[in-house]
Amino acid sequence: MTTALYVFIVIPFAMFFYEADSELTMRGKLLFATKMVSMSFTVLALVFGIAYGLAGFVDYEVERLESGLVPLGRSLDGVSSCILPDAGAIGGLLCDAIATQAKETWSMRTSFPVYVAAITSIIGWLLFMVFAGVGAVALPLDWIHAFVNRPRTWMTRSEYIKEAGVLGKRATDIKRAATALRQEEMNNGRTRKWRKDMAAVSQAMSLLEEDEDRLLECYPQGEDADVSWTFTVMSYWAKLVGGVVSTIATMLWVVHIILYVFSDPPVHPFLNDLFVELDKAFPLFGIAAFALFCFYLIIIVMKGNMKLGLCLVVFTIHPMRLGNTLMSSFLFNTALIMVCSVAVIQFCATAFAVYANETDIQRIFGDEIENLRGIKYLYKVRE
């Protein structure tokens, strides 16, 4: 519920506040943000409230058993199955739990916070599948690729001036192309050719910024240039270690998903058994390993978000770039990651069901949410 409050109220309020007209006073910006959030909150409250009122029930499929009554003084020797409900006789298969096929649905009202978490989780799963899939591959590859292509020597001043001149020429060409595109947009509008050329200019600009950052790394300036270069070298070795560790973590996750999550019945508990054995050695070890594997999912979601942003086929909304991200973009992507965190929690509750058995998170995500009326079929991993 706290995540939903941040995603649907706090973060939108901050975004509206920062994007308000710069000519407004502080009070005017607060009023504008409050008005916009109130409108969106009213719509969301109606949607969630109506949905909860109509379908906020948990449906459990249970077997119906019936039994009769006999006096306590009567001997029950020789009872083979159960007591028939009609005559109180001994024997019969009417209420035998193995033989009967009678089933019915037992419904109970769930709490509103759990229902909000379920709806938020649906949105989170759509983002989680994309961001985690991209991040699981991109995180180790990008770190290892950065180490392989790291600057190996300190660039001389003459080399720096030469490379800076090349970058300056590329920047001039990009500016000239952007000016031509602006003029073409004014004359012909945003045609298909214009969009293609604009994408090429944007890509060229991104590559130019990356080359500029690399040039500054190769030629540190200032009084602490030696210290800066030392930290640069150390950072690339840290990326190598991170790349190797993340590769191992990704492979372990893939194997665990194949053996336990996708298999019916599970072939092997795999990481569940690892956590149990670590707990036997020292209780903190199992909990720490469990937390690290769960937190790794958040890391790859963040990496996927940084890599893609909210990509809508031909353009990206609120892209994230290190040191070059607007506050509104930062807040928007924070909301996306927080929504994904709900799906991450549910996925971990499913993937580590053996280790997390009989916990509150297993009860909420494993029992209630996966049996909610109307949306339970979206959560069925295995039948």
pLDDT digits (tens, 9 = 90+) for 187-229: 888 888 888 888 888 888 888 888 888 888 888 877 787 888 8
Question: What is the three-class DSSP state of 90?
Answer: strand
Other residues' Cβ atoms within 10 Å of the Cβ of residue 211 = 14
Q: Answer whether 131's CB lies under 8 Å from 125's CB.
A: no
* Tokens at 251, concatenated: 């492979």
Q: Is it the case that residue 101 has pLDDT exceeding 70?
A: no
Residue appearing with tokens 């031509």: 180
Tell me how far apart the alpha carbons of residues 140 and 144 are, in angstroms, rounded to a whole number: 6
Share of the chain above pLDDT 70, in %: 84
**CA distances, 108 to each of 50, 113, 263, 360, 378 (Å):** 17, 15, 30, 18, 19
Residue 300 has pLDDT above 90, yes or no: yes
Using pLDDT thresholds of 50, 70 and 90, give the confidence band for residue 256: very high
pLDDT band at 150 (very low <50, low <70, confident <90, very high): confident
How far are the Cα atoms of 57, 112, 306, 311, 323 from residue 319, in angstroms, in the given order?
A: 39, 34, 7, 9, 12
The beta-strand segments (E) located in the chain are: 57-63, 103-109, 310-312, 315-317
Q: Which of 100-114, 167-181, 215-229, 303-317 shows the lowest mean pLDDT across its residues?
A: 303-317
Averaged confidence pLDDT in the chain: 83
Confidence at residue 145, expressed as pLDDT on a 0 to 100 scale? 92
**pLDDT at residue 92 above 90?**
no
- What sign does the CA torsion over 181, 184, 188, 194 have? negative
Count of CA atoms in the C-beta half-sphere (13 A) of 250: 19
Q: Residue 374: is its pLDDT beyond 50?
A: yes
Partner residues linked to 290 by β-bridges: none
> 128, 80 in Cβ contact below 8 A?
no
Residue 318 has pLDDT above 70, yes or no: no
| pLDDT value at residue 383 | 46
Residues 6 or more apart whose Cβ sits within 8 Å of residue 194: 181, 184, 185, 188
Angle at CA 207, nearest 5°, toward 204 and 210?
155
Q: What is the mean pLDDT of residues 269-290?
A: 91
Cα–Cα distances in angstroms (integers) from residue 378 to residues 106, 125, 338, in the given order: 20, 10, 20
| Distance from the first to the final alpha carbon of the chain | 29
Q: Between the CA of residue 317 and those of 43, 185, 208, 326, 331, what are the distances in Å?
A: 23, 21, 21, 12, 12
Say which DSSP state 369 is in: G
Residue 66's pLDDT is what? 64
Element at 379 (helix H, strand E): none
